[in-house]
Structure formats: structure tokens, C-alpha cells
Amino acid sequence: MAEQAFFLGKLAPELIEVVHRRYNILRTIGYMQPIGRRILAERLDLPERTVRNDVETLRQQELISAEAKGMSITPLGERLLEELSILVHGLRGLDNLEKLLGTNLGVHRVVIVPGDIDGESLAKKELGRVSAYYVNEIIKDVRTIAVAGGTTLAEMAKHIIPQSRQDILILPARGGLGEQVEIQANTITAKIAASLGANYRLLHIPDYMSRTSAEQLVNDPYIAPILQMIRGADVLVHGIGDALEMAKRRGISWEEIEFLRNADAKGEAFGYYFDGSGSIIYSTPSIGLKLDDLGKINTVVALAGGNSKAQAIEAVTKAGYIDWLIIDEGAAWQIAKNLNLENGILGLHSNSLR
């Protein structure tokens, strides 16, 4: 697909621009339906005249419907959107970029989602939707899944395909009390379990606590059995955060934040802080999965997005435990730039399609 898309772009570059623009229009209508034309134009930062012409074409092709309350995508439009996502993936050169990043980061499978969370309001929804699709595939034959907290995983949880999987147990990877309820590991665990029709357990403990408290709770008769189940999980799904941003969010002390700053901390994942080489430079005392446990987990999936997260993603990935990395295009192109990989990608540079 990547090679065909490359030659199509060479043959008819003006057509590629139209396809990409209408793909974004169709995708935005799908997420925000019903939506009016003016709001759609503002959301996509396009002239209203251009949007008017494109939506009229989409309506004539029965891909969208227009009513007084706004425009909505039709079943035919939804099917076309799925097919277009594959084409757009190739047109942007993402197929080859996935392979190059996988090789250079030492990750078994890299999945890149079009868009950039840092600059596109719908990009996180798309990252969540695509992540949910692949997670659904990964968990087909597993029995225990551990999930961490965070905004990206919260978005993924919204898109998990409803099933009847009473054979699966969903667990929080770590404690999570202290953050917004919506992005806590417990909340995400319960939401995923509800969609899958699965069983679940929760950890009603803070994500950050003193080392003395953590040591005492590890042997608690209620918590100890849950910890054992978490450490025996078949699949772990977690996010990746900017080190200093996550340190502030977790409420650690000013002295600890200064230590991370001076140590040039780049990325964070479930309480571990990594420098640019992937070495652990600090960890917060908490109850849940430890880095040593990851060698026993069959599949570790990491999700992240945004141009600004590139260094954090590189740092955590270099630690060497991630099997699947699902990121957005903004992060992917920035990582490629940092690693001097852009010239090895067949296809159009992402900037030419924005």
C-alpha cells in the first residue's frame, strides 16, 4: 500500500489533497455528529466555502446526511472511512515509518495513527479508537489484563468493542487515587470490564505514598492477592508521560522534581522515570506492577501521542520492555527527525499533507 500511495501522490498530487481534506471532514462529522457546517469549518480551520462544496459532494454520494440539527455520517460513510484510513496511512508514508521506528526503537510492532494530539482536538479520540481496535485483537486469547491510568487510556476505554468475555479478568496496574476520577486506573479498569462483560478487581489505594506505607500495604490480606494477580497478567496496557509533567501531576515534592530536572528526566511510565538513554533514574513508592514484573508479561502495549511526547516515548521505549507501541503521527515524525530517519521513508512527508 505504501508504494502504490507514493506513486499515486506523484501522479496526481492535487487529488491527494482533496482525498485527505474530505477524509478529515468525514472523520470529524463521525466524531461530532450532528454538527453544523460553520462549526465544522472552524474545527478544521478551513474556509466555509470549501467545506460547503465538500460536504455537498459527500451528501450526493450518500456518505453523510444533512438535517436541521446538523450533519451525520451514514453507514456507507462509516465503511468508506475505514477503507480511507488505510489509504491515508499509505499516502502519509506511515507504513514505512512504522517499520523504521520498530527497527530503530526495538519494538515488535509500531502503529501510527494520523494526526497530532498537540494540535488537533480530535486526534486523541482517533488514537483512542485505533488503540481500542488493536487491544481488542491482542486480548482475544488472554485471561488477565492490567491497565494503567491516564488520559489516553481513558479515551481508549471509551472505544472498546462490547463483547461477552466473562473469561477475562481486568486489573489496575497500580493504585490511582489522587488524580481525576476519570483517568484513574480503577475507573478505566471498570469501564473496560463493563464493555467486555469481564470480571475485574480494584486497588483502592493512592498511586503515590511514603515508602513505609507502601511496604506495609504490600502484605495487607486484601491487597496481597490482587497484587499477585496483577503481576501474573498476560497483557499490560499503559501510557507514556513527560517526566516533569507527570511528577507535578503526582504531587511529588519540589526537591524530587528538581532532582528529576537535574538528572534530565525525559519520560515516565507507571511511576518510573527514565532519562534519554532509557535508564531508570527515579521511581515513586507505590503499590502495583514493578519494572521487574514486566519480563513475565507476554505482551506490553504502550500508548502515547503528541509531538511534545517524542522524547518521552523514545526514553521509555529504550528501556526495552515494550512489545506494541501505538502513537500518533505528530510523535512519530518527531521521533523520526530525532533519529535522522526521515530520508529513509518512501512516500510524502507529513507536512505536505497538513
pLDDT at 347 (0 to 100): 46
Q: Which residues contact residue 34 at a Cβ distance below 8 angstroms, ignoring those fewer than 6 apart?
A: 67, 69, 70, 71, 72
- Cβ distance 327 to 113 under 8 Å? yes
Topology at the third CATH level for domain 2-86: Arc Repressor Mutant, subunit A (1.10.10)
* Residue 154 one-letter amino acid: A
> Residue 97 and residue 284: Cα distance in Å, rounded?
34
The full set of domain ranges for the chain reads 2-86, 95-353
Note the CATH number of domain 95-353.
3.40.50.1360
Strands (E), the chain: 64-67, 70-73, 109-113, 144-147, 169-172, 199-200, 235-239, 241-242, 265-269, 272-275, 280-283, 299-304, 324-328
pTM score, whole prediction: 0.85
For residue 90, count CB atoms less than 10 angstroms from its CB and return exposed for 0-12, middle for 13-18, buried for 19 or more. buried
CB atoms near residue 178 (< 10 Å): 14
* Residue 218 one-letter amino acid: V
For residue 92, count CB atoms less than 10 angstroms from its CB and return exposed for 0-12, middle for 13-18, buried for 19 or more. buried
pLDDT at 90 (0 to 100): 78
pLDDT at 4 (0 to 100): 61
pLDDT per residue rounded down to tens, the chain (354 residues): 555 665 666 666 677 788 888 988 998 998 889 999 999 998 888 999 999 999 999 999 999 999 889 999 999 998 888 888 877 887 777 888 999 999 999 999 999 998 899 988 788 988 999 999 999 999 988 999 999 989 999 999 999 989 999 999 999 998 765 567 888 899 999 999 999 999 999 887 766 666 666 666 767 777 888 888 998 999 999 999 999 998 888 778 899 999 999 999 999 998 899 999 999 999 876 677 888 888 889 999 999 999 999 999 999 999 999 999 999 999 999 999 999 886 655 444 444 433
Domains 2-86 and 95-353 share a fold: no
Q: 269 — alpha (psi -120 to 50), left (phi > 0) or beta?
A: beta
Q: Which residues contact residue 224 at a Cβ distance below 8 angstroms, ignoring those fewer than 6 apart?
A: 218
Peptide linkage before 225 cis (omega within 30 of 0): no
